Amino acid sequence: VTDKFTESMYVLANEPSVALYRLQEHVRRSLPELAQHKSDMQTWEEQSQGAIYTVEYACSAIKNMTDSSVYFKSIDGLLKHAIALKDQLNAAQG
C-alpha cells in the first residue's frame, strides 16, 4: 500500500510539471509560425489600407466630376452661343 501511495503521490506531484513542459514545448514549436502570421497580417493590413485610400480618392474624384457636370453644360451652352454669334458675324460680313 505504501509503495502504491508513494507512486501515486509521485505521479500527482510530477503531473503539473509534465503538463507545463508540454505547453512550453508546444509554444516553442508554434511561436515562430504565429509570429510570421502576425507579420504577414500587418503587411496585408498596410497594403489594404493603401488600397482603401486609393479607392476613396478615386470615388472622391468621380463624385467631383459628376458634380461638375453643371459647369460642363454651362460651358457647352456658351460655346454653342459663341459659335452661333460667329456664324451671324460671318453671314453679316459675307
- pLDDT higher than threshold 80 for residue 18: no
Q: How confident is the model at residue 3 (pLDDT cuts 50, 70, 90)?
A: confident
Q: pTM here?
A: 0.48
Residue 94 in this model has a pLDDT that exceeds 80:
no
CA distance 38 to 51: 20
pLDDT over 90 at 29, yes or no: yes
What percent of the chain is predicted at pLDDT more than 90? 57
Average pLDDT, the chain: 90
N- to C-terminal Cα separation, the chain: 132
